[in-house]
Amino acid sequence: MKRTIILASKSPRRLDILRSHGYEPVVLPVDADESLPEGIDMESAVRLLALKKARACFDIVSGKDEYSGCIIIGADTIVYKDEIMGKPEDRQDAFRMLDAIRGTCHYVSTGVAFIYVDSGKESVVNDVTAVYCRNYTDEDIEAYLDTDEPYDKAGAYAIQGIFGKHIDHIEGDYENVVGLPFHVIDKYLTLV
């Protein structure tokens, strides 16, 4: 039996991934503090941010009968290449990120936090994928930055979008790079 999911995210990509696996979640985006402690590593960062989002959602739905039996999913994705790269602040920041990852390997990590609404029990997982970029030009970056695609994405790109042509290959899970590693969360979504 499938649990009803509350997705604590406004990401259309996460929603699409859940739908592609047969789930129709309740979408309840939240505002959560996304500050990180100095020096935190990539995997700890995404796990912490995902948990902050799931807890913020839990605070909203806890004790409401219509959410009984549901499971909350909070998620966060970052790109790592010598530093944690979140969403770019502006065009210059996006250029800097795309310049840093060209012709090299970087890592994408997505943290996923689960909170069972009835019990408040929490679990957190994450996945890491190595992504290898082609050696694209400054002109390629500028052309990409002229689109709307890079500005709301970790690392300033979307593998599933037009930037995909600049990806040579990946080692790991494609859905993780898009924003939700379904293969590692499936067991949390079904009742045994």
Question: What is the model's pLDDT at position 190?
Answer: 64
- Domain topology for 5-188: Maf protein (3.90.950)
Question: What is the model's pLDDT at position 86?
Answer: 87
Question: What is the model's pLDDT at position 166?
Answer: 97
Cα–Cα distance between 116 and 5 in angstroms, integer? 10
Question: What is the model's pLDDT at position 187?
Answer: 75
Element (H, E) at 83: none
pLDDT block averages, 10 residues each, the chain of length 192:
86 94 94 90 96 97 93 95 93 97 97 95 96 98 96 94 97 96 83 40
DSSP code per residue over 17-68: HHHHTT--PEE----------TT--HHHHHHHHHHHHHHHHHHHHTT-GGGT
- Do the beta carbons of residue 159 and residue 178 sit within 8 Å? yes
Parallel, antiparallel or unpaired: strands 105-116 and 122-133: antiparallel
What residues does each domain of the chain span?
Answer: 5-188
User: How long is the chain?
Assistant: 192
76 is catalytic: yes
Question: What is the model's pLDDT at position 1?
Answer: 58
Is the pTM here over 0.95, yes or no? Answer: no
Question: What is the model's pLDDT at position 130?
Answer: 98
Distances (CA, A) of 120 to 38, 104, 116: 29, 42, 5
Question: What is the model's pLDDT at position 188?
Answer: 74
Cα–Cα distance between 62 and 118 in angstroms, integer? 8
Q: Which residue in the list 76, 138, 146, 173 is annotated as catalytic?
A: 76
Of 77, 59, 56, 55, nearest in space to 127 by CA: 77
Of 131, 128, 158, nearest in space to 43 by CA: 128
Per-residue tokens: 99: 């310049």
